[in-house]
Amino acid sequence: MSKPKIDTDERQSPLGAIIADMIAADGPMPVDRYMALALGHERHGYYMGRDPFGRAGDFITAPEVSQMFGELIGIWCAAGWQMMDAPAEWNLVELGPGRGTLLADLVRACSVMPGLREGMKVHLVEMSPALKTMQAETLKRAGIDATWHDRLEDVPDGQSLIIANEFFDALPVSQLQKQAGQWHERVVGQTADGKLTFGLASDPVAPALVPSWTAGAADGDVAEFSPARDAVAREIGRRICKDMGAALIIDYGHIRSAVGDTLQAIRKHQFADVLARPGDADITSHVDFEALTDAVTADGAKAYGPVMQGDFLIKMGLKEREEMLRARADARQRIRLSKGAQRLVSGNQMGQLFKVLAVTHPDMPKPAPFNVEPA
């Protein structure tokens, strides 16, 4: 991603006015509540009524960059299905499927494995009515039947492969900030002239709520943690251990827990003020893969990685896939293919910021590409 400019449009959004009213009535709200409203407010939440992806939208995700992304994840799924001993019936679960592009590419690629497609049940976890409609259209064109759910808990039990690309970064984070040696919850309040502004809860939080990795932090440091992410990760691990299965989690973030304020807003491919126009900008924060790994393995599942997205895709055969597609592509398509591959793997674009974590039942062999020794 090239460094976007700051978007300075500060007119109040409809949701901004609603949040200001809530704060006037109940006092400042914790950051996680603000983020949950900004993204998921029934009427005005960022994801609820629009297609945010692509050139005309606010940001672009890996499946929209190149079909090869979903196809390589399809190959990972085919290998995962074999590692589950090729069950006659199984669930393919995707969390936050966006436009449904990844799923369509994935299913096309993994369906070449004989016997895999017949017993495959597709379950999508999605909160946005607008995106559900869009996913249904994409899957209809691809000839894929699916069932939608609001939460992972609602997906039926059974052997499962679970995929999440850029899902966890959209789940709300809480923030603490250190002040005069004590940690306070960061909250959203408002100024005298009605503008949203960050502040700190007056009472410090109970020491038991402060993550141990914050030891050594200085005054002013911010620590993020996410009960919402931990709960979904824990549910993934629990399902995999109970019924057999594996998961692939891809997101941008850091390998080790560390202090830092990573909350950000993106609007029309530019960084925006997180508080300026809630509901009109995508708000995310970096995923803490150490915390995610702890949660997903809490019930006994095994985790592999995280590895850089670039390394993962190359080991899964990106170059070979590109060559194959090039052989039957015209000149324009070839340029698209090589630009897409470049964007997915290169260190200054998506290749290093994005990480991949694989999770399996403890009795399953090492998943691809962790089963390939370095040459």
Residues of the shown chain interacting with ligand SAH in the complex, contacts defined by CB under 6 A: 39-40, 47, 53, 61, 63-64, 96-98, 102, 125-128, 131, 165-167, 170-171
Q: Please, what is the minimum distance in Å from the beta carbon of residue 100 to ligand SAH?
A: 9
Cβ nearer to ligand SAH, comparing 210 with 283:
283
Question: Among candidates 137, 88, 93, 141, which has minimal Cα distance to 117?
Answer: 88
How far is the C-alpha of 53 from the C-alpha of 74, rounded, in Å? 22
Beta-bridged to residue 156, according to DSSP, are: none
Q: Please, what is the minimum distance in Å from the beta carbon of residue 63 to ligand SAH?
A: 5
Q: Please, what is the minimum distance in Å from the beta carbon of residue 365 to ligand SAH?
A: 27
Cβ nearer to ligand SAH, comparing 40 with 237:
40
Cβ nearer to ligand SAH, comparing 98 with 305:
98
Cβ nearer to ligand SAH, comparing 120 with 283:
283
How far is the C-alpha of 80 from the C-alpha of 78, rounded, in Å? 5
How far is the C-alpha of 358 from the C-alpha of 215, rounded, in Å? 29
Cβ nearer to ligand SAH, comparing 205 with 231:
231
Take residue 366 and report the two structure tokens written for it. Answer: 């090492």
Determine how β-strand 264-267 pairs with β-strand 182-190.
unpaired
Cβ nearer to ligand SAH, comparing 165 with 175:
165
Q: Please, what is the minimum distance in Å from the beta carbon of residue 90 to ligand SAH?
A: 21
Report CA dihedral (289, 293, 296, 297) to the nearest 10 degrees. Answer: 180
How far is the C-alpha of 171 from the C-alpha of 5, rounded, in Å? 25
The identity of residue 328, as a single letter, is: R
Q: Please, what is the minimum distance in Å from the beta carbon of residue 308 to ligand SAH?
A: 17
C-beta nearest to ligand SAH: residue: 96
How far is the C-alpha of 223 from the C-alpha of 177, rounded, in Å? 6
Q: Please, what is the minimum distance in Å from the beta carbon of residue 65 to ligand SAH?
A: 9
Q: Please, what is the minimum distance in Å from the beta carbon of residue 356 to ligand SAH?
A: 13
Please state, as a whole number, how many other Cβ atoms lie within 10 Å of the Cβ of residue 118: 9
* CB 160 within 8 Å of CB 90: yes
How far is the C-alpha of 301 from the C-alpha of 95, rounded, in Å? 19
Distances 267 to 18, 164, 260, 270 between C-alpha atoms, Å: 20, 22, 22, 5
Q: Please, what is the minimum distance in Å from the beta carbon of residue 131 to ligand SAH?
A: 5
DSSP letter at 197 equals E
Cβ nearer to ligand SAH, comparing 87 with 237:
237
Q: Please, what is the minimum distance in Å from the beta carbon of residue 197 to ligand SAH?
A: 25
The helix-helix angle for 227-243 and 31-40 (nearest 10°) equals 70
Cβ nearer to ligand SAH, comparing 45 with 204:
45
Question: Among candidates 166, 138, 158, 145, which has minimal Cα distance to 73?
Answer: 166
Q: Which residue has the tokens 């966890």?
A: 168
Cβ nearer to ligand SAH, comparing 140 with 366:
140
Take residue 235 and report the two structure tokens written for it. Answer: 């549910």
